[in-house]
Each structure stands twice: as structure tokens, then as C-alpha cells.
Amino acid sequence: TVYKNATGIWAIDFAENYPSAHVVGTDISPIQPAFVPPNCTFYVEDAEKPWSFEQQFDFIHLRMMVISVRNWPQLFEQAFEALRPGGYIELQDLILLARCDDDSAPPESPLMHWSNLMVEAGKRMGLDFGASETFPTLLHAAGFIDVRVETYAWPMNKWPKERQLKQLGVWAQQNFFQGVQGFSMGFFTRALGMQQAEVMQIVDEVKRHAADLNSHIYLPISVFTARKPEGA
């Protein structure tokens, strides 16, 4: 199994749950924990550069990579070559623009405005934050079969009435609050030319808005799976 994401938590959990598997995790920064299961190994690698693994894999998992990958066709081609025949790829990713279906968060509201700024910053850096909508087509083009998609609404706080969605909103908000300052600062200063103080003001407003239960904002999150054909 090869896994590409930031913190390494998924790879560690997978290795602990499947001790007979050999799990390889990669990231462009060595930020993973120092102590990991003996069947889990991390490497500092850029997923958009040539993959140099000596072995093929049964399963490749990528999560929340849409904010960092520029060349998805190339990545899928490399993943196809890195899989054994019959192996699977799984992707979990979002579509950024933020959505609101009932006008409780108008386009000029802080979180919706932030979302548009992120999309514009991504474009200027060669990134398409809606790229996951093209994944099924790109996976087929790379040679994968049995391509499947499941899409969910990821509420930005606990505004939904349904209990499971409310809990999901709690987790989503915590995840968002942990990351919004870091990636806003990076994208807005580098791509949009903003000053640090301006970015911090936007982040503060966005956090307050994201905590407003009267604003029914969500992000679409999709899970994609596909298989490499036997004999390929």
C-alpha cells in the first residue's frame, strides 16, 4: 500500500489495522511522527515527480491533494504503473468553492468570499481546486476500470439537523480551523500579493463566520475508487 498525504495518520492507522501489509507513506516534508509501526515507512517524495519505487502496490490512497497537484493526468498515469494488475486506487478530495443552498450565506459573506479568493489564488499558481470533478474522466484515460464516485456534503459546522451530519460538521470545523490560517497565508501572500495583517483579518472573519450556525455552508467531498485491469 502506498499513501500520499501530509500528517501520516492514515498510513499509521492502516499499518496498525493490517499488520501483514507493508505501508509506504510519502510527503514533500518530513513532518510525520518519529515512532511508527514497524510495517510503515515514510519517504520525502514529490508525487508530481517520477515515482522511483522498486515494487508495485496493491492499493494507492490519496487524500486532499487537489490544493497541491497541478498535473493530474501525469499523476494518474504514474499511479497506474505503480499498481499491480488488479490493484486499486482511492482518492478522497473536495471541490472548493464553498456552497450554500438556502441563501443563508450570500456571496459577499466572509467564508464565501474567502472561498472565491482561494480559487483565484489557486488559478494563479496553476492549481484547479475543482479538479476532482474531472477525476473519473482522467482515471479512465489512464487505463483504470470500475471507476466509482460517491459525493457527500461536508457541513462547515454543526448546523444540520440530522445527528450524523451534525457530528461531521463538528469534525469539519475543527479540521478547517486548524488549517485555514496556514494555507490562506501561503496562497494569499504568494498569489494575491496580500500582506500578513490583511490575511489575518480575513482569517479571523472567516473563522467567526464558519462558527455561525445560521450560515448553512458546506463543501462537496467525493470518494473515488478505480481498478487496474488484470493483465495490464
pLDDT in tens, 178-201: 999 998 999 999 999 999 999 999
Q: What is the pLDDT of residue 33?
A: 77
Per DSSP, 229 falls in state P
Write out pLDDT tens, residues 125-162: 999 999 999 999 999 999 999 999 999 999 999 999 99
Query: What torsion, rounded to 10 degrees, do the Cα atoms 201, 202, 208, 209 define?
Result: 160
* pTM summary value: 0.89
